[in-house]
A and B are shown apart, each in its own frame.
Chain A
Amino acid sequence: MRHIVKSLLIVLGIVATIFLGRHFLTPDSWGKYGHYRADYIDEEANRSINYGENDSCLKCHSEVVDMLKHGEHKTLSCEVCHSPLSEHIADGKKIGSMKVPTGNEIDKTCLNCHQKNVAGRPHKFPMIDKNEHYKMLEIRADHNCNQCHTVHYPKENINKAKSLSRNLREAVDNEAK
């Protein structure tokens, strides 16, 4: 019958291991203020800042930020499409190049927000099915979004083109009169 005693001892051993494990693996500061690790507050507060927001970009790239302010993307943060500031500037000095999407990356970046099947967008938000959009406007499929839409001011060229063609039409009409 010794095996029964041994079995009981094993069960007791397992229970003891669990309690020992709990003792050693529970962080020291656990429960100091509530049901969480108190050290976490300091750790979070001391994390280095990654993002600098648009005012940091303004210092060197005022022309682009100024352009952004006038367009539909005025509420966007530069770092949404480019990299976080911490990869570009440290202690006021440039440490690396900012990510600038090119080619097909541009389309991917745009469609992150404007892809038609992204659910839960506000009613008036322009949602695009790229194939449909290109077909409707008779544009070649290998073109990228930024060939018509200036990324920092999406409707700039479109509006200019529209007003240009309106002026042209008016001029032609006036000529005809």
Chain B
Amino acid sequence: MDIAEFLFPNDTHPHWTLMIVIYPYITGLVAGAFIVSSTYHVFKVEALKPVARFSLIFAFAFFAFATAPLLTHLGHPERALNMLFTPNFSGPSMMAGFGYIYLTYGLLLIFEILFVYRIPMIEMLENKNTPKWRVLIYKILTLGSRDKSPDSYHMDHKVAVFLGGLGIPLASMLHGYVGFIFGGVKAVSWWFTPLMPVIFLLSASVSGIAGIILLYVLIKKWTKTHLDMMTVRALVKLLWTFLIFDFVLEMLEIGVHAYGGTEHWHHIHELLSGPLFYTFWIGQVLILTAIPFVVLGFLTLLKFSDRVVLTLGMISSLMLVFQVLFMRWNVVVGGQILAKSERGFLEYHPLWFEKEGILTTIIILSAPFIFLWILGKIFPLWNDDDNYEIKHQNDHFDNKIHIKHEKNDLIDTKSIN
């Protein structure tokens, strides 16, 4: 069917701007980074240990700004509370659901960080070289605790593992729910598919892991500190794994639309071959997915030197970080420019200086990096206190042996008596 460019008079421009493009993008980075952290904390993948703490702080830095685009878009940020206080469960209170999951996940993330960092914070608190402002912060964040005993260390560890374990379904829900927000919109045929939450979740993991690789390598190169190639290789493998599922499902979604061939297909077909041709097929699929897909595949399956893995891994990660941004654009803007008449397309050209324009987007996307830098001043991003961990594990081990000896002694004395 020909597209006649017929638009309804009340359907002339998209209402969800660049802000709603970067909202799932930032939330995705949070979920992806948390998955990296939990892969070490819960599943004990030792190779990821060097980035386990960093990815937690990374997740928190982005978490803090996940709702910034939403609140900017809302115009009256305080009205977000109305939705949370008086949700309409019998009707479409989709965003209230997001609010609850976001708050719960936020609490979990904050406490996970506090438990992982409690003993290092006490150590820094007791160190005389620590500046006063940080001492004050540590006093608050350690909740007045000075307990560094091996028992408390192991208890913290258990709590962190528990929170990490609970965090995996919550992080998945957080981002799956973002996909659900789009996938549940019946009126937009480009979004209305049960695959949407899954695709969002997988692309979130891709962007999170790629973001961690990029920042890990960049920060380590910048500060000229030790870069663990085992970690980079493990992250590259993890990235490829998630990319496989992400890419396959994204293509399957198009396949389902095309083969299903509902009355909406002609419109989606025109969308993909018209307004979205360059951003979807050329940008997202051909350049930003196919190339990293092949490169990461080779890096995972064949043996290459550290230099090659580092260079190609970095380039692929950079491309994938943009791939996910392109995906968010194609979903959010693509779905909205489908005219409700199904006979044409709306137009959306973000401006540099409008309220929700390109400049605002750049500011909101840079904010988490600045916040990460500030957090890095408070929470050491890298496991520099490993010695402490090993020392305490040994202490604990010694204690157990000691207790055993005591018991044996007791038995011995008893038997003697």
Contacts and interface: CB of A to CB of B under 8 A. Distances in A.
A40 interface: no
Nearest to A8: B111
B88 A35 contact: yes
B145 A11 contact: no
Contact of A1 (B7, B88, B147, B347): B147
At the interface, is chain B mostly helix, strand, loop or mixed?
loop
A67 B159 CA distance: 81
A3 B8 contact: no
Contacts of A118: 12
Interface residues on A, range: 20 to 34
B253 interface: no
Contacts of A4: 155, 159
A54 to B, nearest CB: 22
Given A3-B142, A3-B143, A4-B155, A120 B9 contact: yes
A14 interface: yes
B3 interface: no
B152 A11 contact: no
Interface stretch (A22-30, A98-106, A128-136, A149-157): A22-30
Contacts of B74: none
Contact of B144 (A6, A26, A35): A6
Contact of A11 (B11, B88, B107, B151): B107
A119 interface: yes
A121 interface: yes
Nearest to B9: A120
B143 A119 contact: no
A177 interface: no
B142 A35 contact: no
B155 A119 contact: no
B118 interface: yes
Contact of A7 (B9, B85, B143, B347): B143
B315 interface: no
A108 B5 CA distance: 26
B12 A3 contact: no
A92 interface: no
Interface residues of B, number: 30
Interface string B333-354: 0000000000000110000000
Interface in A1-47: 1-4, 6-7, 10-11, 14, 18, 21-22, 25-26, 30-31, 35
A177 B323 CA distance: 79
Interface string B87-125: 010110000000000010001000100110010000000
A125 to B, nearest CB: 10
B81 interface: yes
Contacts of B85: 21-22, 25-26
B127 interface: no
Interface string B7-18: 111111100000
Contacts of B152: 1, 3
Nearest to B146: A3
Contacts of B90: 35
B413 interface: no
Contacts of B142: 3
Contacts of B11: 120
Contacts of A31: 86
Interface of A: 1-4, 6-7, 10-11, 14, 18, 21-22, 25-26, 30-31, 35, 118-121
7 A-B pairs with the lowest CB-CB distances in the bound complex, closest first = A3-B145, A119-B12, A120-B9, A120-B7, A6-B143, A120-B12, A22-B85
12 contacts: A1-B147, A1-B155, A3-B118, A6-B144, A14-B107, A21-B81, A22-B85, A25-B81, A25-B85, A35-B91, A119-B346, A120-B9
Given A10-B143, A14-B107, A120-B12, 13 more contacts: A2-B147, A6-B143, A6-B145, A7-B115, A21-B85, A25-B85, A26-B86, A35-B86, A118-B12, A119-B347, A120-B9, A120-B10, A121-B9
